[in-house]
Structure 1
Amino acid sequence: MTNNAPPRLPKDPGQKKLYVAAGSALAVLIVAALGVIFVLPAGFQPNNSPVTANNPAATETAGAKHTATAAPDQSARRERTDAEAEVEQHRITAEMLLSDVLRKQTALESDGIKIWGAEQLTTSYSEALDILATANTSFDEARYTEAAAEFRKVLTILDTLDASKDERYGRAMADGNGALAIDNAESAVPAFTIALALRPNDPSAAAGQARAQSLPDVLKSMEQGRRLEISGDLDGAYQAFKSAVVLDPTYRPAQEEARRTGQLVADRDYMKFISEAIQAIDGRKFSSAAKALSAAQKIRPETHELAELSERLRDERQAAQIGGLSLSARQSAAEENWEKAAAHYKRILSMEPTVAVALNGLRRAERMIRLHRQIAVYLDDPDRLSSNGPLEHARQVLRAATASENKGPRLARESARLGDLVAAASRPRTVILKSDGETAVTIYRVSHFGSFTEKRLELRPGKYTAVGSRPGFRDVRIAFRVSGTGEPTTLVVQCTERI
């Protein structure tokens, strides 16, 4: 589908001028082309007068006539061409300046010049727009020299405005802060709007704008607080003044009123909490006493009476806690729950590092924890006992368990199981190896046996790996376990898969 509607000029005046300038350039090129087609050939039209060697007079007359006619025409054309070239050069210059203006204007408008450039200092943005309108008119009327001069003025003004950003920011901040100082929100808001337009991410400008916008609500809360205090509602007055501080933490009148009324409320509440704490300590209600003292401490953290009550609460609460933990630790030890007993003793020592009962109890609990863990290593993996080193260590652990003075039912059961495992691991078991007489057999950590058809050997219970190899055949690897009970272990190792 083809759209035959004529192209529309952009609404933006600067962009419109670019379209007009482009159209003007196209028109000049068309005129020049027509001149080449229709004017220049006229100078080369042939003379109809006969000119031959037999008619020299005619030749001389024709030549003189042609020279007299062609010279003025060519001179006039050259003058017109030079003038047109000069006009074209001025137009191009004006277009280039207009392009510079549009780029600069676009950049500054993206920086908010419509906001911060409105105020007249040495110049203003409206002044630049007025001269730009005049320049556009000059350009439309083909007064390109005037248009270029006016575009240069616009560029100068825009550069001046760009260079004035810091000064304008400083003036806007001063105006905004001055307005805040006299509670004038109507003047402060636009001032900080200008500052933020100049420096969008500036924290001082953003803070000033926030203060200016919240100022009406701050003043309303201040008035409410005064009315409530007069009516005797001290808590309400304090909350109102505090709300004003929340709205603007830097507003000094709100800070002062909130501090004053807050102190009155604190004095009243402090005495109330001290009284509650004393009663709770006497009744051994330590949580309630701590809560009351904490509330009083938030009001007056360093008073002498608060320090004495806090120390009394700490001592009585600690004595009660140590007594309870000691009882729990003894019960856990009696149940052979040594991990839990150790945790209780550690809590006691974290409160009072010199409690002898806790020190001795922790040492005993940790010793028993280590013993049970060592036993568990072999109970969980009896095959470890197939090696001499672990087997000897298991015997040492078993002797320590047997000699322990804290031997309860749990330790007795685990010691008995470990003793059975050690006894079984100490008795070698018969293992029957069978092969094909061609396969060389090796048992890791035992020996290399070579080729055979059947071989008997004695191995302690545990896990082993047998490997068979035979030239031309793929090796075989067999993991097997020798049990401490039951029939002898029989294992067939032979290579049967050809390579």
Structure 2
Amino acid sequence: MQDEKPDNDKPTSPPSFSVERVGSPINPGGRPSILLPLVLFSLLLIVAIFYLPEWLPKANNTALPAPEPVTSKLEDSPFQDAQLAKARREAQDVLQQLLTVQQELENIAVQRWAEESFQQALQFAADGDSYYQQRQFTQALAQYQTSLEALQSLQSQGQQVLEAALNDGQAALANDDVDAAIHAFELAYAMAPEQEAAVSGLQRAQNLPALLKLLTASQYAEEDGKLDDAIEFANQAHGLNSMHLGASQTLARLQQNKLDRLHRRYMSSGLSALANNDTQQAIDAFTQALHLKPKDQDSLDAMRQAKSKQLAQRIAQLMQDGQTLEASEQWPEAIERYKQADALQSGLVQVRVALLRAQARAELDELLSARLAAPLALRDERHYANAAELLDQASRIKQPGPRLSDQIDDLQHLLIQARQSVTVQLLSDKQTQVQLFKVGGLGVFDSKQIQLYPGKYILQGTRAGYRDVMHEFVLQAGEAATTISIRCTEKIGSI
């Protein structure tokens, strides 16, 4: 069954499919269905799959026949491609190094100190790019390598260029060459902004014009005799650059001039005060002078002279105070003054003599005071003899003061009274044994009258079977007769 051929007279545009124009297999009255060719093709395909292998003759060997050798010439070369790939990789590696070194050189401002060499090195790299674009990788690698070596050579020069810039900047600063210093340190700062020498050097170079103006102003002020103003200008200049030799020397010289002037002023004031015997003012002035010049020999000699004179004045004042205290018979206070004088300068004869004299009088005063404070002790013969000897010693003092004179009179009166007896009337019961300590036994009695020197006494009464009794009494010189009763009246064991 053949397919219907299309009518050649019909148009070539794709047909427009619709239900009215296409017949249905169930309704053969329409035009032939489009499914019929598809069914026939499917039947032929099934027959080919299941029956055609049986119809074909079977081969003895199932292996595919070997392909016939290709006789045509290959257009590509694998070895050459591998070499090109290797050259390309090497070119890329060198190019990466080249870019790294280029960046490092730009970081140290290579354009400022080797612009021509840097551009020439980059041109080698540009030539390499041209070869690379033409797939001539070997030539590109050679150009890149040449560029890298040129850049590395510049890189090795960087530290030398930096050091030369720093050295040139320092030399320019030393010569006060503003333009050269700024130029050198700007290059150093561009190459190494993190380096302190470059930073500080550039700052000093930028401050140099102002520094030079301040030094000029300092010079004019000094010429006008305005030393303080000159120092202030020099100090400001030194603050701008403490390493500037001219500023440092000018400031040091002006400060030394001011120090010399002040030193002369203090020395003149001290010598004038010393001539007027105002040693403390002189010492204060010489102290200020030595503060300015600690090792100045004239200041040291003047200070020793002032202190020596002040020491002599101090000792003389202490001696005078001691003598005044002696005149008022204030012996402990006088001794203290003499001791102070001796401590200031030991071995002075007049001080030692005065000290011994004051100590002897102080001791005598103390003994007299103690003896006069205990008149009743004179009842004892030993104390009486000591008092008499003390009175004799005091009486030999020439020009005794009022206090000593009174002490002599009082002691003499006490010695007289100590030998004037006082009448004592004793009463008892004829049964009590009576004893007077330091005198002796008085026996038993009803009444007894005795004569005793002024003093303190103790009576004791004893009686068998009775408790002892004690009676203490004091007799004063010139006292009227006194009566004392002593009896033992308390039996032992009685309630």
Asked if these proteins are the same fold (TM beyond 0.5), I'd say no
Larger Rg: 2
Q: State the TM-score, normalized to the length of structure 1.
A: 0.42
Q: State the TM-score, normalized to the length of structure 2.
A: 0.43
